[in-house]
Amino acid sequence: MFSGYRFEMIVGCMSAGKSSELIRRIERARLAYLPTIIVRPATDTRSKPNCVESRNGLASQAIVVDSADEILKYSSHAVVIGLDECQFFEDDIVDVVQNLLRQKKKIIASGLDLDYRGKPFGPVPVLLAMADRVDKLLAVCRKCGSDFACRTQRLVQSQETILVGDAQYEARCIHCFEPPGEYQLRLDLPKTEQAVPQLVLAAMQGVELAS
Ligand SMILES: [Zn+2]
């Protein structure tokens, strides 16, 4: 019925423009007269009911479901299916996506690839492996201003994997990201201008470089 990829994924940290890219692609399908739906899990309480909203003000109607199987109830007439906030679905989303692909639907899914610890988030890694096309979007780091933010920094103390609310997070680059203690990944990289002299000095002294 249409050419191109059948399962596209848009991932990245918060504020990377994932929902706005999802809405943009769904709008293009609508312009091509393809029946579309956007579905999002009920766990995401930030958007208005029955709506997907991006931070830059785009919005589109959405069906809110409590579980992934419910998607099958609403998708029979749709040719292109948008799935927003995929990290909040349970693992059964993988079977549902496979089922929809067997029905020759086109799926455009978006979600956080990593949680606040910098660990793969829910079913997203499996969906990424299944996707035909993957776009990993970057945000602006709210600490240093670089264009390469790829982590979602939690700004409050909590052990919950899911803690919904934009005010409690900000986008950070890998150098500014501070994961919780037990998963601490120390990246004390020297600044570029300091790196060469230190390396030369270490080599001259025969000192083994710290890994
Ligand atoms: Zn940074």
| C-alpha 177 – ligand 1 centre gap (Å) | 7
| C-alpha 178 – ligand 1 centre gap (Å) | 10
The answer, yes or no, to whether residue 155 has pLDDT greater than 80, is yes
CB 13 within 8 A of CB 143: no
> What is the dihedral sign for C-alpha 71, 80, 15, 113?
positive
| C-alpha 187 – ligand 1 centre gap (Å) | 12
CA 131 – CA 60 distance, rounded (Å): 23
Q: Which residues are catalytic?
A: 85
Provide the pLDDT for residue 140. Answer: 97
| C-alpha 202 – ligand 1 centre gap (Å) | 28
Provide the pLDDT for residue 184. Answer: 45
CA 8 – CA 79 distance, rounded (Å): 14
| C-alpha 137 – ligand 1 centre gap (Å) | 15
Using 50, 70 and 90 to split pLDDT, how confident is the model at 210? very low
For residues 170-195, give the mean pLDDT: 68
- Structural domains of the chain, with CATH: 7-137 (3.40.50.300)
Q: Of 15-19, 63-67, 186-190, which gets the smallest average pLDDT? A: 186-190
CB 110 within 8 A of CB 131: no
The answer, yes or no, to whether residue 171 has pLDDT greater than 80, is yes
| C-alpha 95 – ligand 1 centre gap (Å) | 37
**pLDDT tens, position by position, 97-123:** 999 999 999 999 999 999 999 999 999
3-state DSSP of 107-170: EEEEEECECCCCCECCCHHHHHHHCCEEEEECECCCCCCCCCECEEEECCCCCCCCCCCHHHEE
| C-alpha 114 – ligand 1 centre gap (Å) | 17
